[in-house]
Chains A and B, each alone.
Chain A
Amino acid sequence: MAEGAGGSAPAVRVQGLWKRFGEQVAVAGIDLELPAGRFIGLVGPNGAGKTTTLSMVTGLLRPDQGGVEVVGHDVWRDPAAVKARIGILPEGLRLFERLSGRELLAYTGRLRGLPGAEVDKRTTQLLDVLDLAGAQHKLVVDYSTGMRKKIGLAAALLHNPEVLFLDEPFEGVDPVSAQTIRGVLERYTASGATVVFSSHVMELVESLCDWVAVMVAGRIRAHGPLAEVRGDAPSLQQAFLELVGAQGRDRGSDLDWLGGGAMR
């Protein structure tokens, strides 16, 4: 299952990962292997620990316990090898918002050590494909949510990473931008790269991913190829609700005054 991709090394290997914030346990011992070359969805309700997990996997947050390897390199012992091979789009962290979109990409690419001419070439192409060419000289602080996600994605893709981590990439994004992002991601995985993204929108995960991990309350509840996790349920949404244990809550009768017709 986890080694399903023809026995090749996993893209990400997580062992015994823990994180506490004060009293609250955000991540309670995760063991997980994400296969390479797949479109992987990390799903779970709000507060399940998805963002914390992704932050620890990408080296932005130090775990209390446990280890993470990305494409065979330890995130904490060999950061140089890992950072060069991954791209991330975090949620809730700022970009350098007082740069224009183009300046932001130029800055990121050069910090990553790419030659200037190459950065400029890739920047132009990415801005075109992501439909940001018209706003390239606008400050990022004035971007809409969708544009922000797109410029973040461009910054994450600029150095052609092997594994891309996206935290809620479609949250608050309009359908047109979402379709653009989707197109770019599908093209990217088709070439053999790995995408790991977190979301709580099951329809989206179901239509995009071929491998999912379900996270609830800091633990992995189920993982594997999409069909396997879905099982007999009619949709991933149903399977997820069963896993989370949120079935059969019918409180409709409490709101008997609510409905068309009578005012007040």
Chain B
Amino acid sequence: MSTSTSGVSSEASITPVVVRLKLSLLRNGLRQSAGRRAAYITSVVVVLLFAALQLLGLIALRGNAHAASVTVLLIAVMALGWAVMPLFFPSGDETLDPTRLVMLPLRPDPLVRALLVASLVGIGPLFTLCLLVGSVISVAHGTAAYVTGVVAVPLALLVCVALARAVAAANIRLLSSRKGRDLAVLSGLVIAIGAQLVNFGAQRLGSAGGLSRLDPAADVLRWVPPGSAIGAVDSMSRGSYGVGVAQLVLSVAALVGLLALWSRHLTQLMTSPDGSTLQAGESAARERIPTGGLRRLLPSGRTGTVMERSLRYVWRDPKTKAAWVTSLAIGLIVPVFNALQGTGSIYFACFAAGMLGIQMYNQFGQDTSAFWMVAMTIASPHDAYVELRGRALALLVITLPYATLVTVLTTAMLDDWSKLPEVLGLSFALLGAMLATGAWSSARFPYSIPQEGYKNVAPGQAGLAWIAIFGGMVSAALLTAPVIALTIWLNVTADGDRWSWLLLPLGAGYGALITAFGLRMAAPRTARRLPEILAAVSKG
């Protein structure tokens, strides 16, 4: 912002250094592996294509009565993205973490300027720039509007970037702690659910009212920076110069405020003990771990021990938790939403069993390299059998009631109670087949799940993961084929409906049998391959 004369010399020297540092970090990150390079280039291409499309779309919108509403809303969503990105992907940019620079003799003001300029380098800012330019083109009419646009675009971009930095600096203690990393793991979930909501909203928008439904929201957002910068361009186009100037001033004020906030947190961070020092003292007192209780309900011996640990991990391990929540959500959403929209079939209820059965896959990968503790206690195929059976039982504790519930719910919504027994039977058979193939592929195709970040496969093991999951799902479908065939046969036979209740005990029995068979097949393989499994799950 306003440069003090004393800082000029150091600013001149530090800003290019930080920008070069950022470029080097980017380059070296890409040099690390061909896969990473490919991923980066792909994402750049996709983002640029998307940006170009958006630019074209916005230009096409020029002249539309609701153009201003759309642009202001888009920019608000964009700013929201900038605000939450550092919370979910804190490791994305190392220059974001000012504690790395803490031992250098730097003053906060030049540092803030240097970091601000450095953070303009990247795909995100480029994308934002395209969006902003498109928005200005879409709403600007007349010289005054275009002149305002020239100011508004960089201003809005700086507000976005400063917002991200300020949020990151304010939360760096949380982000560098274990809880913050746990949060980052759950980010994928939030994004998935968010996408679901956007999708829903877009459908609603398409169905009734059209773009005019956006206007009330836009009326507020045109005063909220950085949207107010584009709002100013729109106001200038309409000839309300006073309003335009006020909106522009609001954006400038926001930028100044954010920079001051950022600078203050930066100073604070660089002069106070870091998270690791504080953490040791606090977290013990704050975190309450529910213990006991569970064990009394579970069988004794290895079975209960294994079940207890598995169930605890569903709740406490962020990766396992995210996988479970995804499975539970999709297992419910697919049949219920389809039933809601009237396009559903009652057989979609089997989705719940199928999705939850996936959790049996890569059991040992979920242990990470802590699997050695299990490996040290498996000395015979029988030990391995009890271990796998314990894990399957833990899974059933959640899955059986859930699959039943989803099935009953779907049945109730479709009001097709006569089909309930056969769908339940089919669900149980499918679940059994998933458990069987899951146990077997856990032993045969283990792969590691990196604990940090949002990836679920370590580099180089993606092929293995695909083989395990898709091969397993196809085999599970094949294994369920007898029950599926029986269901179809009973449905097409004239007298079949009278006997369809038989599918419930048959399906459940078949599922139980095939699970037992799968566990028996997997156990000797697990016991034989312990070192190989450990090596496979210890990567990354």
Q: Give residues in A with beta carbon < 8 Å to B.
A: 58-62, 79-81, 83-84, 88, 90, 92-100, 102-103, 106-108, 110-113, 116, 135, 137-139, 141-142, 144, 155
Closest to B531 in A: A62
**4 residue pairs, one from A and one from B, having the closest CB atoms:** A80-B379, A110-B305, A98-B316, A111-B377
Contacts of B317 in A (CB 8 A): 98
Does B538 lie within 8 Å of A93, measured CB to CB? yes
Among candidates A60, A97, A102, A110, residue contacting B372 with C-beta atoms closer than 8 Å: A60
B287 within 8 A of A: yes
Contacts of A94 in B (CB 8 A): 368-370
Does B377 lie within 8 Å of A83, measured CB to CB? yes
Q: Given A96-B313, A100-B289, A139-B287, 14 other A-B contacts at CB below 8 A?
A: A58-B376, A60-B376, A61-B535, A80-B379, A80-B380, A83-B379, A94-B368, A94-B369, A103-B312, A110-B305, A111-B302, A111-B373, A111-B377, A142-B178
Does B370 lie within 8 Å of A97, measured CB to CB? yes
B203 within 8 A of A: no
B295 to chain A, nearest CB (A): 8
Among candidates B284, B370, B378, B534, residue contacting A142 with C-beta atoms closer than 8 Å: B284
Does B309 lie within 8 Å of A135, measured CB to CB? no
Closest to B316 in A: A98
Among candidates A60, A95, A112, residue contacting B375 with C-beta atoms closer than 8 Å: A60
Docked CA distance A204–B305 (Å): 38
Q: Give residues in B with beta carbon < 8 Å to A.
A: 178, 279-280, 283-284, 287, 289, 291, 300-302, 304-306, 308-309, 312-313, 316-317, 367-370, 372-380, 530-532, 534-535, 538
Docked CA distance A59–B289 (Å): 34
Does A96 lie within 8 Å of B370, measured CB to CB? yes
Closest to A58 in B: B376
B423 to chain A, nearest CB (A): 36
Closest to B306 in A: A111
Docked CA distance A88–B372 (Å): 10
Q: Which of A92, A94, A116, A144 has the most CB of B within 10 A?
A: A94
Q: Which of B284, B313, B378 has the most CB of A within 10 A?
A: B284
B497 to chain A, nearest CB (A): 49
Among candidates B279, B372, B380, residue contacting A93 with C-beta atoms closer than 8 Å: B372
Docked CA distance A111–B531 (Å): 18
Closest to A92 in B: B369
Docked CA distance A144–B281 (Å): 11
Does A99 lie within 8 Å of B376, measured CB to CB? no
Docked CA distance A99–B531 (Å): 24
Contacts of B300 in A (CB 8 A): 116
Docked CA distance A61–B306 (Å): 24
Does A96 lie within 8 Å of B373, measured CB to CB? yes
Does B373 lie within 8 Å of A100, measured CB to CB? no
Knowing A98-B316, A103-B291, A107-B305 touch, does A84 contact B379 (C-beta < 8 A)?
yes
Does B534 lie within 8 Å of A60, measured CB to CB? yes
B311 to chain A, nearest CB (A): 12
